[in-house]
Structure 1
């Protein structure tokens, strides 16, 4: 049993490193409260974990007797999670310092949440899946209600906790039914287990409840109602973290379940139809409701719902190409959303973590702060899907996978939904560049400096989106190979 213990520790080293750093930060904060070195420990430590993980991408296998997948898709998903976490930590320091909440334990919670996300994305069994999901969720509940004096933050945290606990019940019941139907907890053995027992009905019920839990975590309709309230009430830099890293981990786990745990005929039939229907409804509802939002964070929340629909379209294809396309999209989405929330955090003026920050407050920002205006333009065009940015490549890949799987109608609907999204994304730029600064509220017209860390993060995200859009082939090859196929398509910039 212990013959491969040291090798397993090395294989899961990045996860253990991040979790260990979380413990170190908590202990350090107990003796040196809110020490300035804590964010550096978190950021540099996660960067080392990302590099470590990158060297293990080609070493595909399992650890701890199949409890954890290593290399391949798991490694790539963990790298995306770590990118989102590192960028969010860089945004968090100046943002929380400005609002007087730069507590050391915040970075400990981010580290523990990241470790949970990495465990979720690497899960090889139903138990590991649940442990990773709950570790991530509990930390995010606390981070959402960080500013306890604000009623909006308290309301958001309470809604997130109650609805999250409710969805966890579905998820856990689904795990119990799957175990009852198959007699195993290993994801790779579920398909053979149900074939041996013949308990197909019980297995289908378990899969359905499992999907409900996943749909809640990725903000898919009709399990999305928590998203706008939580995004609006949580501190903006932490909203960037929970909207990207957690979604990347959950989608990666869902892709692994679809690719490795379910019988192929089930994926090609009932599950594909379910995913396609949920993807279609999610794309339509997310984009349509975003059209009427005046609060910027709520608009970005419904935008996040719509993007969950786009990614589900890739997963609905039920092919290795679709799963690889979803991974590429998650990388692009992480850069787009972290950048957009970084800009909004820098422009925040309402002392309520952006809860009252509407579009009018952005009037004339493009002329007053051209750097932020141009950067926001890059993120809005990328979210819409304009070439040559990575958002366009991501949408092309997931829709191409859907077409290859015979879901032409879903791809057409996705394209039409993207056209609709152009209205509310470009409306932000119209207000920033084509509206007089005099129309903004008095507080929004106050002069303010842009923190150096914020400027670096925003720049990195914008440049990376352009680079991924112009030269996507190498990354496409890596994400596609994660599920054992060649590149989905050769994309010419």
Structure 2
């Protein structure tokens, strides 16, 4: 007979960082009903407090000051409390905190200040955190929907603009389509292994490989469909079609947050499945994982398309959209490297360092776009930043730093991220893929440095508004970009020793 577990058996204590944020989001949803429209800054402040509290709890766990894992499985194995979860939590919460800061003034001056914005942002962040902690395929699906549905709503938050509503509809329809692939993939994996538990799948794969029967092809199809569903969320080619239109049409504060949060959640889920659940799934004994060749092919296609198409863009939001696609390709290099036995820990650490660097860099870049954007969502082209160095030298210097980091120039966070990703590829004998990554990084220098050229060497009358929350967001992003680039020890120490292997 089924026994209902009690709170002690579930070890709920281990979920405290994400549980704090979820409870905070629910309380904020109720509290916002009693906050007058003209004082929605209170809602933003309460959201920031909730994020900060959850961030402190996650950092305490990451630094081993507090051990949340307890003495047994969490939520009967559905939730994994380890340092990978802690690191994903930290990246997601930093993104959310910056997201609140860049949205505060933007929502006011564009006339879309509504308290539910911050509640939705908290739920998205909770979804990302659950993706990182997922110990079961069903949790990954539920977390993905918790991450995605609020983003569909946020994308259409400017209801007075047809472009915003169009972006939300495109994102919703394509996202629902991708979710169906994920569910079908989960069903096939369950059919092959008899379980949706990632640890159970990992244990079943050894027997499937040893038997060499047709079950392995059922499992291969299931893993492939899961890859399609999560590939949409990280904007990997050919599942990237939504990205440019959604980035251009959605409110820029939403895009600044979404461009990082969706990637962190997508890659966290992808790593849990591929590196945690099926790292030992090989079609031939002693070979690389069966999914490795597909992933490195996706990485090459994503890097090529993202960087080449970005060259032709004149709108900053569309340019950064294709840049986001390209960076998904760089991260996929390390995912592919994890497919070689023994390379998983190094590759996972490289991905986490890259995501942390990308958080500061990309949110900072979009924050500068917010500073120059007009209230009617116009003025996001290259003309908007021409001559910015003469009118706002500090803002231009920050944007130049972000562009250098996205390019991968030394002494920036972006360089360190690419360094670790390429090193993991070389360790996994993926020299060709690493070479494509280096060459496409050189190509990206053209459109990133074109922005720097426009700010410093072209004539224009660029105007920008940086109220204190936005200025602080840009300052924190610039500081993070510099610190990780100059003192990489800060990032490497956080990611040190993180592994997803159930075998220890």
Instruction: Tell me the TM-score range normalised by the shorter chain.
Output: over 0.9
The 3-state SS of whatever aligns with 2:47 is helix
Gaps of at least 5 residues in structure 2 are 339-343
Displacement after TM superposition at 1:269 (Å): 3.4
Range moving further from structure 2, 160-169 or 237-246? 237-246
Offset of residue 265 of structure 1: 4.3
> Are the structure 2 counterparts of residues 9 and 157 from structure 1 closer, same or farther at C-alpha, using a change threshold of 3 Å?
same
How far 1:25 sits from its partner (Å)? 1.5
Deviates most, 301-310 or 319-328: 319-328
Match of residue 130 from structure 1: 141
- Could you list the per-position Cα deviations for residues 204-263 of structure 1 after superposition, in whole angstroms to 9, with x for gaps in the alignment? 111000000111000000110100101111111110111001211211121121222004
SS of structure 1 residue aligned to 2:80: strand
CA shift for structure 1 position 202: 1.2
Q: 1:323–1:480: 8 Å Cα contact kept in structure 2? A: no
1:322 aligns with 2:347: yes
Alpha-carbon separation, structure 1, partners of 2:394 and 2:25 = 34
Q: Please give the secondary structure, in 1, of the residue aligned with 2:159.
A: coil
Structure 1 residues 56-65 or 284-293, which shifts more? 56-65
2:293 match: 273
Aligned match of 2:14 in 2, 11, 14?
Answer: 11
State the match for 1:255 in structure 2: 271
Match in the other structure for 1:490: none
Cα distance in 1, alignment partners of residues 442 and 34 from structure 2: 54
From 27, 31, 37, the equivalent of 2:30 is 27
226, 234, 238: which one pairs with 1:222? 238
Deviations 1:241-290 (CA, angstroms, capped at 9, x unpaired): 11001211211121121222004243923211011000011001100000
* 1:184 maps onto 2:195 in alignment: yes
8 Å contact kept, 1:365–1:432: yes
- For the residue of structure 2 that corresponds to 1:481, the secondary structure is coil
* Distance of 2:279 and 2:264 partners within structure 1: 24
Correspondence list, 1:61-210, <5 A:
61=69, 62-196=73-207, 199-210=215-226
Distance 1:313 1:323 in 2: 11
Distance in 1 (CA, whole Å) between partners of 2:145 and 2:36 is 27
Task: Provide, for residues 145-198 of structure 1, a one-character-per-residue CA deviation record: whole Å limited to 9, x for no partner.
Answer: 001110110110010000000000000110111111111111111032345565
Q: Within 5 Å, give how 1:235-250 maps onto structure 2.
A: 235-250=251-266
* 8 Å contact kept, 2:205–2:278: no
2: CA distance, partners of 1:54 / 1:477: 13
Relative to the length of structure 1, the TM-score reads: 0.93
Q: Gapped runs of 5+ residues in structure 1?
A: 439-444, 486-493
1:60, CA displacement in angstroms?
7.7
Please give the residue correspondences for 1:328-339 in structure 2 after superposition, counting only pairs within 5 Å: 328-339=353-364
TM-score norm. by structure 2 comes to 0.91
Q: What's the counterpart of residue 422 of structure 2?
A: 399
Aligned to 1:293: 313
Correspondence for 1:48: 53
Query: Quick check: 1:320–1:480 contact (8 Å CA) kept in 2?
Result: no
Contact 2:153/2:168, CA 8 A, preserved across alignment:
yes
> Residue 328 of structure 2 corresponds to which residue in structure 1?
308
Higher alpha-carbon deviation: 233-242 or 255-264: 255-264
| Structure 2 counterpart of 1:357 | 380
Q: Is the 8 A contact 1:178 1:202 kept in 2?
A: yes
1:273-323 alpha-carbon deviations (Å, 9 max, x no partner): 011000011001100000000111000000000000000001110121011
Q: Secondary structure at the match of 2:177?
A: helix
Worse overlay, 265-274 or 326-335: 265-274
